[in-house]
Amino acid sequence: MVSLDRFQTFKAVVDAGSLTAAAQHLGQSKAVVSFNLKRLEQELGVTLLVRNTRSLALTDAGERFHQQCVAMLALAEQAIEEARSEQHQLRGTLRLTTTPEYAAARVVPLLEGFRALHPQLRLHLSTTPAHADLIPERFDLAIRLGRMADSTLRATLLEAHALCAVAAPSLLSGLPDAAARDDPDWVRTLPRLGYPRLADLPLVAPDGSAAVFASNPADAVATVDNASTLRAFALAGAGATVLPAWLIAEDLTAGRLLPILRGHRFPRQGVYAVFPNAAQPSRRVQRLLAHLRQQLTG
């Protein structure tokens, strides 16, 4: 019978992209990794990888086997988790990633509640504005905001929240009166901030007519790659922009930022849990998803 350890070796080589990187990940020597890979190919009777001095490439058989290998290892891990669980306690490490702002405002408090329910579970949270590559970076789950692009990943909606067009009082002081901040023609005269990570937004006027609010206009006075910096520029009075309501709730209450285009409606922004599509989510991921849904929608 083929050893599951060799399945793990093969998966590690494919995920890491080289024998050296796989050996470092597995804590083994390169020679051991190479030996186990060759033995696996001999036992299966097929060539899985074409190797040269610079790169590795999956054969057609290797591509098919890798997909099945990922699914089998996930099922094996899930079976081990369930066999080791005592009184419904989760163990091991749960690796997840999201943006720094959403982590601080929403995820960390919920994770602390989840950790209290499962004290033997270790959490690894990585925060970055960019989308992490879940499989090579070995994340169990990502929490992503906005529209989901087509991919091989599975996504489930956790919550949806309001977006708000805002500007600082100092920026709005140049408008003729308070009503001008709700007039699209006057708003177009304000300097704008750019945020390429947010797609252009449909905007519905009070009379039902539709327009588009450019999230990254060509004439933006400043362009940023994360929501915290976008908020900081808005607070400084540099320009008008759109920000999630959960991020600027205290700024709105304190009057540091003021809503503009009141009466106009943006679509709500979805927050999604994203995980690999190769197999059934692990028991840890399933439990966390249930906890997040209950807390965010309950």
The per-residue pLDDT for range 173-204, each reduced to its tens digit, is 999 999 999 999 999 999 999 999 888 999 99
pLDDT higher at 91 or 148: 91
Which range is least confidently modeled, 134-148, 211-225, 260-274? 134-148
| Closest by CA position to 284, among listed 101, 134, 74, 131 | 74
The CA distance from 246 to 35, in Å, is 53
What residues have CB less than 8 Å from 183, skipping those under 6 apart? none
Span 111-117, average pLDDT: 91
User: Would you state the pLDDT for residue 83?
Assistant: 63
Reduced to 3 states, what is the DSSP secondary structure of residue 53?
A: coil
What pLDDT is recorded for position 63? 87
pLDDT of residue 213: 92
pLDDT over 70 (residue 67): yes
C-alpha span between 193 and 233 (Å, rounded): 8
Instruction: Say which residue, 158 or 87, is predicted with more confidence.
Output: 158
DSSP annotation of 281: P
Question: How far apart are the C-alpha atoms of 276 and 139, rounded to whole Å?
Answer: 9
In degrees and rounded to multiples of 5, residue 263 shows phi and psi of 95, -20
Residues 6+ apart with CB under 8 A from 144: 98, 131, 155, 271, 272, 274
Looking at the DSSP bridge assignments, the partners of residue 273 are 143, 156
Closest C-alpha among 36, 133, 152 to residue 49: 36
Give pLDDT, residue 53.
Answer: 64
Which position has the higher pLDDT, 214 or 150? 214
> Which tens digits make up the pLDDT trace of 215-245?
999 999 999 999 999 999 999 999 999 999 9
